[in-house]
Amino acid sequence: MPCLYLKKTMNPIDFYILHTSSMQASDHFVCQLANKVWHQGYRVYIQCDSFERAERLNVKLWTFKDESFLPHDIYPNTSAIAESPILIGYNKEQVCNGMEVLINLSEIVPAFFEQFKRIADIVEDSPVLREKGRNRYRFYKNQNYELKVHNINR
C-alpha cells in the first residue's frame, strides 16, 4: 500500500504537557488519549523514538483497561496495516495513508506530520524533554498552526 501525503491543513495542534516523572503514568495517558480518539472514529498513529518504547506501548494498549483492549499493531512490523485502527511506529519513515490523528512521543517533529488531520504532541516532564517540546512548539508556530496547550497533572 503506497503512502501518500495529504494536503496541509491548519487544524490546531494540541500540546499535552505531562507533569509527571513516571514513564508508566505517561504511557497510561497516551493509552487513554488513543482510546478516546479511536472511540471518536479516527485512526491513530503513535510515533515513538525507539522500538523499546513502541513495544512498551504495545503491551500497555493490550492491558491498560481490565475490560477491553485497544486494537493495534506495530508499524512497520505488521502485515495488517490496512485493518489496524491504531498503529505504533518508531522509525522516521512516512506512515501509510488513512491514519488521521498523530500522537507524537518523538523528540522531533516527524517529517510526515502534514498527512494528519490532527496532532497531539506529548511533552514529558524533564528539563531536556521540555526544551525539545518548546522546539517543536516553535516549529509549528512558525508554520502558522493554531496551538493549544493542555497541562496534565498525574
Hey, what amino acid is at 137? Y
Cα distance between residue 115 and residue 67, in whole Å: 33
pLDDT digits (tens, 9 = 90+) for 4-35: 444 445 678 999 999 987 888 899 999 999 99
Measured at the CA of 134, the angle between CA 152 and CA 22, to 5 degrees, comes to 40
Number of H helices, E strands in the chain: 3, 7
Q: Domain tally for the chain?
A: 1
Q: Is residue 57 part of a domain?
A: yes
Q: Is residue 1 part of a domain?
A: no
- Furthest C-alpha separation in the chain: 43
Domain with residue 85: its CATH number is: 3.40.50.10110
Residue at grid coordinates 494528519:
116
CA-CA-CA-CA dihedral for 125, 137, 112, 22, to nearest 10: 10
Query: What is the model's pTM?
Result: 0.88
Q: Is residue 83 part of a domain?
A: yes
Residue 68 has pLDDT above 60, yes or no: yes
Residues 6+ apart with CB under 8 A from 24: none
Q: Is residue 8 part of a domain?
A: no
> How far is residue 99 CA from its own chain's centroid?
11
Strand partners, 75: 89
pLDDT value at residue 120: 98
Q: Is residue 86 part of a domain?
A: yes
The residue range of the domain holding 68 is 13-153
Q: Is residue 5 part of a domain?
A: no
pLDDT digits (tens, 9 = 90+) for 79-109: 555 678 999 999 887 666 688 999 999 999 9
List for the chain the helix, strand, coil content (%; round to 5). 35, 25, 40
Residue 1 pLDDT level (bands cut at 50, 70, 90): very low
